[in-house]
Chains A and B, each alone.
Chain A
Amino acid sequence: CFAPFLCLRPPQIRVKPDRTGVVTDGVKHSMNPFCEIAVEEAVKLKEKKLVKEVVAVSCGPQQVQETIRTALAMGADRGIHVEVSGKDYETLGPLQVSKIFAALAKKEQADLIILGKQAIDDDCNQTGQMTAALLDWPQGTFASEVTLEADKLKVVREIDGGLETIKIKLPAVVTADLRLNTPRYATLPNIMKAKKKKIVNVKPADLGVDVSSRLEVLKVDEPPQRQSGVKVETVHDLVEKLKEAGRI
């Protein structure tokens, strides 16, 4: 069972002076919340003896290893660190990541890939779906409940209209939504034990994946300052102000 996850920084962000992105130096990188839920689900499946092995995967620079350790401390058996750093890391997007996951899934002969439904830094909500498409596997996205029934997976999905239950064949891709579970804490004794678990280093080239991006970021800006509103006393004033602003 594959639990690939994203390692990223908390919401305290600042745009870089050259407007090409946000400042990441020195900012704490931690596991994407939806990916935490994914790892927890994988570990739960292992505890129920429904899967044999949980492999935690992440793509990124050296710091990512710390987060893989957290996944190992939560119960994953081994880790794979796909090394992507520098300029490549800045332009790493869902398409390249899904290619990497697809290649790894084939190499490791995984039966199930569980990941977070989206990353809270870019909100793409694409990697899971793209990975499934590249592998030609079924997908159960926005999962709030996952049950294994023989060789099929019953997934309850959170959709706009309510909840949708589908059955998909394995191997499959599942993306975790908020209510799937409550992730456990990575306790200190487990972090210490996790130091003994293996993390293997792999390069995208070893998997035959080209990480060059087809997207170019032109600029990154802060959102426009919110203008303060104006309070009006009467309905008449409101109409006047709206007329003034050319709205009516």
Chain B
Amino acid sequence: MTVPHCYHKHRITLIHMTRRCIRALKAVRAEHVAPQVYSTRWSSSTVPRITTHYTVYPRDKDPRWEGMEMERFADEADVVIVGGGPAGLSAAIRLKQLANQHEKELRVCVVEKASQIGAHTLSGACLEPTALNELIPDWKERGAPLNTPVTEDKFAILTEKYRIPVPILPGLPMNNHGNYLVRLGHFVRWLGEQAEELGVELYPGYAAAEVLFHEDGSVKGIATNDVGIGKDGSPKDVFERGMELHAKVTLFGEGCHGHLAKQLYKQFNLRENCEPQTYAIGLKELWVIDEKKWRPGRTEHSVGWPLNRNTYGGSFLYHLNEGEPLVALGFVVGLDYTNPYLSPFREFQRWKHHPSIMSTLEGGNRIAYGARALNEGGFQSIPKLTFPGGMLIGCSPGFMNVPKIKGTHTAMKSGMLAAETAFSKITDENLQSETAGLYIPEYKEALEKSWIWKELYAVRNIRPSFHNYFGLYGGMLYTGIFYWFLRGKEPWTLKHNGLDSAQLKPAKDCAPIEYPKPDGKISFDLLSSVALSGTNHEHDQPPHLTLKDDSVPVAQNLAIYDGPEQRFCPAGVYEYVPLETGDGMRLQINAQNCVHCKTCDIKDPSQNINWVVPEGSGGPAYNGM
């Protein structure tokens, strides 16, 4: 059950198949020749070795790496931005706008792990154009792909058979008047073009794999990923070190739950005064539907079925207006769910069978699939944002307005504010910096004065209000009373429930969920869905889903929680399979299927999985998701 490329409906050329088969054959041959490597590092009993990545097994202690040239080529820029998404690109654009305005030379480099800008972007999405209007006021003339203004806004509570409409009164966060339905991947691609026109250096296909530090502890920049490391962790003939990009300040815009941000939180203790971040997983599909059912500009949201009242989540269905009858639809499940038998993917698939949804999809064709984790923590979970040499922007620290389910406008604004404050500091000729990497606390001050802060503060209690006996209904009541009337001015701030990974109940205390079989027309199986994401990774590289301890999955995740990673991963990466010899199971990691959603790193109850970045260009190939 490896790479599902052969599940493509479309023709795969014989040569392509041959190439893949040859690769697969080489892999199979290698597996038979080299017997299972057993790791006895942590456990008393032998456990098949799963993790080979150098972040877990350092290369300076590995005899296979003796004598390898580990020098890296280094280059200097003024600002390096990690992540070519809305936040990163907005920051880049703003920096260059200011540089041109003040006639200053500024070298801005953006590194992005996707093979092209926009290929790893996934969102609903309903874009509030406030930040865009500030950044590029003439976006319409410049051809920004905001083609679908919202014309209709519908909200409903679903039961198994019925749909109960809920009126969206003006003033409620879900009101979408003035917003646009967009294919965010295309919007991000357009932002990339604007950035390049201004002279930003964009480097898609190169992932930032390591944060570099000056001797005084401030951030010096980043290093891109090494290439040419084999699946077993040894160097191949084509091994090459990544390159170092040094900067006066580095902006980290990796999106929700970034892997470098995870390290920075520890390094600089950025989370000591905020609540842990809480998350949800969003799964999305694009469908070409029957023209008769198409209502361009219609925005539909639902809560309720198939989730029970204590599991946060809901759906979206947007009718896009881009020339063909295209709808973007998806399902979001809060990752604080408690039942380890819950499968967000299968909830999504069964939601589509609701009569009101099926009527839209019948006769249509699914053309894309993808998934990504998103932030739900809001105001309470914003960490410290600046540290010597760096700043956090966008969904990485997390500025999503959860009840509005919009985070793009705040991500872009945070990028712009970071750019403005960084620019003043960098071009300040009288600056006396204490550290080699610039420390820019003005960024946080600028955020606090901006509309981002007001907006997030106003909605801060809506998500946590869900944690009551009445669950969803308590939450809606709270929103109705306190938000609609008081606009979040109530003097208290509710707390979240703690880490998402700590919420799962043991499997023995929960009932397995009977999901219906996919019918192949409205609902689909996991592997054919993953094939549609276009995800691919260089096969011969260490799995980038690394485990701190290879024995924990079977000993804890499987034993106590019945292996929830088999269900929460939207790409079928994790499988428990029987051991080749003897009794028992082992965890098989199909790293090639990964769509970089980060859910496993978030939801693993043992917090044993550490997602690190694979070789650049690997991952999904989303087109306008």
- A residues adjacent to B (C-beta < 8 A): 10-14, 17, 26-28, 30, 33-34, 118, 120-121, 123, 178, 182, 184-185, 187-189, 191-192, 222-223, 225
**Minimum CB distance partner of B16 in chain A:** A120
Residues on A with C-beta less than 8 A from B10 are 11, 13-14, 222-223
> Do B119 and A28 touch (CB < 8 A)?
yes
- Closest beta carbon of chain B to A43's beta carbon, Å: 13
Residues on B with C-beta less than 8 A from A192 are 75
> Do B238 and A185 touch (CB < 8 A)?
yes
> Do B206 and A12 touch (CB < 8 A)?
no
Q: A12-B623, A223-B11 are in contact. List 13 more A-B contacts (CB 8 A).
A: A11-B5, A13-B10, A14-B367, A28-B115, A28-B621, A120-B15, A120-B16, A178-B22, A189-B75, A189-B243, A222-B9, A222-B10, A223-B9
Residues on A with C-beta less than 8 A from B8 are 11-12
A13 to B623, CA, bound (A): 11
A28 to B185, CA, bound (A): 12
> Do B206 and A28 touch (CB < 8 A)?
no
Interface residues of B in 441-462 (CB under 8 A from A): none
The contact string, 1 if C-beta is below 8 Å from chain A, for chain B 1-27, is: 000010011111111101100100000
Within 8 Å of chain A (Cβ to Cβ): is B514?
A: no
Residues on A with C-beta less than 8 A from B605 are none
> Do B16 and A178 touch (CB < 8 A)?
no
> Do A182 and B238 touch (CB < 8 A)?
yes
> Do A185 and B189 touch (CB < 8 A)?
no
How many B residues touch the partner, as a band?
35 or more
Interface residues of B in 162-187 (CB under 8 A from A): 185-186
> Do A12 and B367 touch (CB < 8 A)?
no
A189 to B534, CA, bound (A): 28
The contact string, 1 if C-beta is below 8 Å from chain A, for chain B 599-621, is: 00000000000000000000001
Residues on A with C-beta less than 8 A from B536 are 10
A154 to B488, CA, bound (A): 79
> Do A188 and B15 touch (CB < 8 A)?
no
> Do A189 and B12 touch (CB < 8 A)?
no
Within 8 Å of chain A (Cβ to Cβ): is B84?
A: no
- Closest beta carbon of chain A to B290's beta carbon, Å: 13
Within 8 Å of chain A (Cβ to Cβ): is B106?
A: no
Within 8 Å of chain A (Cβ to Cβ): is B240?
A: yes
A-B contact pairs, 7 of them (CB 8 A): A11-B12, A14-B10, A30-B115, A178-B18, A187-B240, A189-B75, A222-B10
A123 to B14, CA, bound (A): 9
A191 to B73, CA, bound (A): 13
Within 8 Å of chain A (Cβ to Cβ): is B134?
A: no
Within 8 Å of chain A (Cβ to Cβ): is B551?
A: no
Interface residues of B in 225-255 (CB under 8 A from A): 227-228, 237-238, 240, 242-243
Residues on B with C-beta less than 8 A from A185 are 227-228, 238, 240
Contact of A191 among B203, B238, B367 (CB under 8 A): B203
A185 to B115, CA, bound (A): 13
- Closest beta carbon of chain B to A154's beta carbon, Å: 23
Within 8 Å of chain A (Cβ to Cβ): is B624?
A: yes
Residues on B with C-beta less than 8 A from A27 are 621, 623
Given A12-B534, A120-B16, also A26-B243 (CB < 8 A): no
> Do A118 and B9 touch (CB < 8 A)?
no
Residues on B with C-beta less than 8 A from A120 are 13, 15-16
Within 8 Å of chain A (Cβ to Cβ): is B116?
A: yes
Within 8 Å of chain A (Cβ to Cβ): is B194?
A: no
> Do B189 and A178 touch (CB < 8 A)?
no
Within 8 Å of chain A (Cβ to Cβ): is B224?
A: yes
> Do B243 and A182 touch (CB < 8 A)?
no
Residues on B with C-beta less than 8 A from A184 are 238, 240
A141 to B393, CA, bound (A): 52
> Do B621 and A26 touch (CB < 8 A)?
no
> Do A28 and B11 touch (CB < 8 A)?
no
Within 8 Å of chain A (Cβ to Cβ): is B324?
A: yes
Residues on A with C-beta less than 8 A from B186 are 26
Residues on A with C-beta less than 8 A from B116 are 28
- Closest beta carbon of chain B to A11's beta carbon, Å: 6
- Closest beta carbon of chain A to B234's beta carbon, Å: 16
Given A11-B8, A185-B228, also A26-B240 (CB < 8 A): no
> Do A178 and B621 touch (CB < 8 A)?
no
